[in-house]
Structure 1
Amino acid sequence: MKAAHLLAAVACGLVFSAGAFAAPPAVSTAGILAFDEAMLSPDYWIRRAPQPDAVLLDARATAAQRAAAYAPGGGFVDVRKLSATLTRDQVLDWIRGAEQQTPVKLAVDDTGRPVGPDTLQLLRDATAAGQVPAMAPARYGLAVRRAPMRTYPSDRVFYASLDQTDYESLTAGTLFPGEPVLVAHTSADGRWLLAVTTQGPAWVHTGDIAIGPAETVFAYAALPPGRVVTGDHVHTVFTPEAPALSQLDLDMGVALPRADVPPDQPVNGASPYASWAVQLPVRQADGSLAIRPALIRRGADTAPGYLPLTRANIIRQSFKLLGERYGWGHQFDARDCSGLVAETYRTMGLLLQHSSGLQGTSTALKHRTFTAADTHDARVKAVREAQVGDLVVVPGHVLMIVGHVNGEPYVIQDVPYAVFKDPATGALRRTKLNQVAVTPLLPLYADDEKTYVDAMTSLAQPTRR
């Protein structure tokens, strides 16, 4: 089924088959097999977890994992180690690299008109690739807000087809406030910067980056977390005195350094005594970087540092995103399958890559890999023995184990749709989910022939070193 393969690779889609269970249960009213509403509570799974509050990796081990994520094979780009002198070949390579930051075909625009050579040439001309100098100094900056990353310097919207509008073709990911970047080039119209991020190269709106000295940028990025966002979204306090810092959107896992401010002096027009004061980058009128204090309400869902890495916290944090709309590449102020697990673990100090493919191969994580030589029975045994927080990686998708019921593994995942063979009729049935959901694992199919377990390439184990 070619369409199923395409959607699974691009949209973390899944197909169910009742044949995966010896005695298939009835379909729930939600249209999901082997499921009841109690499974939507994190406490349901925490009660089943062995030693749910045991610390799985201590602070030293999680710091070692973060360092490994930036080492060769770890999947993250260490922007600090890139050359401060840029050559034309290097910048052109990054421009080409930005174009490859998405697997979604650039086929039609938002009216359904096919993308032809003229449109592609306009997008490429916008990169000003012909104006890259032979040599130039690198510039550095910090993201000042939640910022979309694009494969070309354009806000135009494209899709693979008009029936797949949840997956926009130029989406390359998202930058979060305080992330460091190397600025390599400027678009033809001056409205976009080619930014080399920890995720790789992409185009970012000029107004989303504040440019500053390398030592200032990396000193800020190296500061210890003073507050870590543990809710799905948290916002800074509204302040007309400092609009750039007012109601700033902070995603789960964003870690900000503490601001040392006098408790009896206002910050941006409000007393800090009932809030947490943090440091945030600000883009000044000339585009330069300044670091300013901002306030986060004490009642907001944050922590004074990374949460302990426990099974209970893995479950609690992932379930805070339950029901959130699927967001390819962090579209719609949301997450996709890899974003769900990455942000869950980021609250506990672990770095997981921005794509399921990288999560399945990163040397920063412990893996059990699977090939065609592994039998179905061996694969089923592995997932039945998998622990809370383990990641089942298949081509184009990642699912996280949350526990077992009667020996059968269950997962939480960010998934656009569910398709399964109805136990009563055997007919193919499609359930639109388009959200973070809890499902059984063993019934899931990658296509009409192969289960997700049989398609599994890696069982990644972030909680083990």
Structure 2
Amino acid sequence: MDRLASPSSTSTRRVGTPTWRRRAISLAMMGATACLGACAAPSALAVSPSGVPAFSEDMLSPEYWIRRAPSPDAVLLDADQVAAKRLRASGPEGGLVDLKRIPATLTRAQVAGWVRDAGRTPIQAAIDEQGRPVTEAVLDGLRQNAAEEHLPESSPARYGLSVRRTPLRALPSDRQFFASEDLRDYESLQAGVLFPGEPVVIAHESADQQWLFVLTTQAPAWVRRGDIAEGTADAVFSYVAKAPGRVVTGDQVRTVFTPEAPEVSELELDMGIALPRADVAPGEPVNGASSYASWPVLLPVRGQEGALAFKSALLRRTADTAPGYLPLTRANILRQAFKFLGERYGWGHQFNARDCSGLSSEVYRAMGLFLPPNSGMQGRSAALNHRLFTAQDSHAERLRALARADVGDLVVVPGHVLMIIGHVNGEPYVIQDVPYAVFKDPATQQLRKTKLNQVSVTPLLPLYADDTTLYVDAMTSLVHVTRP
């Protein structure tokens, strides 16, 4: 999902558009082009039984790429350098919103602008869940629930923490709309996701009082009231600032089941979520179970009338977590990325999964780097180093830049982002979360489309961005994430 958010660099700066703004759904992959060095000519590219060219089964193992990587265990950025990049990500043009800089008093014009921005969906709402046409009257009903006309001239900012993995929505509704019957992987109102423990500024609420309009570090959106615990600014930001006790390093783990505390039982935690340690004595029971074989962590919960409270929970010691952010090495980048291999493509984190920019963001979040939540801003964030490309850059210049690309570099094309995992015979390969592979069949020289719809490993140079343009020629940025 190509999600666009601008940082709030001053107390009066307008927050950027919602997380998915201007998303160009990327359905095109892989076409033929001239290769680098000893790479085979396009007509000689073999197509595997899976329908992917220039591919072999051993490429689906992270160890294959780790063996090819230079100094795979060398630390590329130390903890201080990672922390500095994290800070820049919330600064001017960093791509994330610094919620602590949002003014304590919100104006009607400010909030109304956010509500209108959130409601502009990039995917047409043409049919509903049952395939019936979506009328303007239906959409007007949802807009009326946004209650923009009831905004006061000014109101105090309120604060909260998300208590579970919950979708962000363009309008205050769970209704699902699609552009067409054959595009049901892309839901019109889906605007991203909040993970447990993420902070929000609460700016407004729906007419039916079931939804809160919030500003997240990504952008403004609607979220279910029952998924947010409201507290003071100090309580919210103090929790976020706590040192990580455990960092989720698996694709997704769950807290230990506990009927004594259902609000923290089997809670889904995605890669990169950092939770503070709970203050529990060794062996002290937590929610009916001993803590000696697990890690006690602290999670936000909803108390009486939705007030913010905190509760201890357990993570099994065998769960894929770490005591802090992982060292930023090529080997860790590869191992983390490959933990998502084969996961279903999830527009805006639908299907309990993630999309192209979600993949790159969560891989790096496990190592303490916070990337903007959309491919466009990942390609130009002031927190990252990048080589920008324009129409004046030749095909040869682009190939030379890709030949020097490092493991973990991001290739950004309009509406899509891919991660470099290494080179084979001089040709760069990527891991990406992508719906389709479209390439020129070497036997017929006709475009051929293979449905992937998952996190996949592919060569880069054969990719087509559309029927006529190769990805290498559509590339707008090569992001060197791991450079200081």
Given the superposition, is the C-alpha separation of residues 425 and 454 from structure 1 closer, same or farther in structure 2, using an over 3 Å criterion? same
Of the candidates 298, 311, 328, which is equivalent to residue 292 of structure 1?
Answer: 311
CA distance in 1, matches of 2:467, 2:187: 26
CA distance in 1, matches of 2:163, 2:23: 32
Select between 18-27 and 400-409 the one with higher mean Cα deviation. Answer: 18-27
CA contact (8 A) 1:11 1:415 kept: no
Whether 2:69 is the aligned partner of 1:49: answer yes
Matched AA of 2:63: D
CA distance in 1, matches of 2:123, 2:376: 15
Corresponding residue of 2:88: 68
Corresponding residue of 2:129: 110
Corresponding residue of 2:17: none
Matched AA of 1:387: D
Corresponding residue of 1:219: 238
CA contact (8 A) 1:28 1:35 kept: yes
Whether 2:430 is the aligned partner of 1:416: answer no
Whether 2:112 is the aligned partner of 1:98: answer no
Of the candidates 7, 14, 22, which is equivalent to residue 28 of structure 2?
Answer: 14
Deviations 1:359-418 (A, max 9, x none): 111111111000011000000111111000000000000000000001100000001111
Offset at 1:296?
0.3
Offset at 1:285?
3.3
CA distance in 2, matches of 1:225, 1:119: 45
CA contact (8 A) 1:12 1:398 kept: no
* Paired residue secondary structure (1:15): coil
CA distance in 1, matches of 2:252, 2:25: 23
Offset at 1:353?
1.1
Matched AA of 1:58: D
Corresponding residue of 2:216: 197
Offset at 1:279?
0.6
Deviations 1:82-107 (A, max 9, x none): 0111111111011112123x522222
Whether 2:405 is the aligned partner of 1:389: answer no
Whether 2:197 is the aligned partner of 1:178: answer yes
Matched AA of 2:90: Y
User: What TM-score does the superposition give when structure 2 sets the normalisation length?
Assistant: 0.93
* Paired residue secondary structure (1:234): strand
Of the candidates 80, 99, 105, which is equivalent to residue 85 of structure 1?
Answer: 105
Matched AA of 2:55: F
Of the candidates 18, 42, 52, which is equivalent to residue 32 of structure 1?
Answer: 52
For 1:53-452, what aligned pairs fall within 5 Å after superposition? 53-100=73-120, 102-452=121-471
Seq. identity, %: 65
Corresponding residue of 2:12: none
CA distance in 1, matches of 2:264, 2:275: 13
Deviations 1:286-335 (A, max 9, x none): 10000111100000000000000000000000000000000000000101
Matched AA of 1:396: G
Offset at 1:284?
1.4
Matched AA of 1:35: F
CA distance in 1, matches of 2:425, 2:247: 36
Offset at 1:428?
2.5
CA contact (8 A) 1:94 1:201 kept: yes
Offset at 1:120?
2.0
Equivalenced residue count is: 457
CA distance in 2, matches of 1:159, 1:256: 36
CA distance in 1, matches of 2:249, 2:240: 19
* Paired residue secondary structure (1:10): coil
Matched AA of 1:28: S
CA distance in 1, matches of 2:418, 2:56: 19
CA distance in 2, matches of 1:28, 1:261: 53
CA contact (8 A) 2:30 2:460 kept: no
Deviations 1:185-218 (A, max 9, x none): 1101000000100001000000000000110000
Select between 51-60 and 356-365 the one with higher mean Cα deviation. Answer: 356-365
CA distance in 1, matches of 2:338, 2:231: 38
CA distance in 2, matches of 1:113, 1:379: 46
CA distance in 2, matches of 1:389, 1:76: 21
CA contact (8 A) 1:419 1:431 kept: yes
CA distance in 2, matches of 1:437, 1:240: 38
CA contact (8 A) 2:32 2:461 kept: no
* Paired residue secondary structure (2:269): strand
Offset at 1:447?
1.2
* Paired residue secondary structure (1:75): coil
Offset at 1:35?
0.3
RMSD, aligned α-carbons: 1.2
CA distance in 2, matches of 1:438, 1:260: 42
CA contact (8 A) 1:256 1:279 kept: yes
Matched AA of 1:18: A
Deviations 1:2-44 (A, max 9, x none): xxxxxx9533322322344424321011110000000000000
* Paired residue secondary structure (2:305): coil
CA contact (8 A) 1:195 1:202 kept: yes
Matched AA of 1:185: H
CA distance in 1, matches of 2:370, 2:276: 18
CA distance in 1, matches of 2:26, 2:159: 34
CA distance in 2, matches of 1:236, 1:433: 31
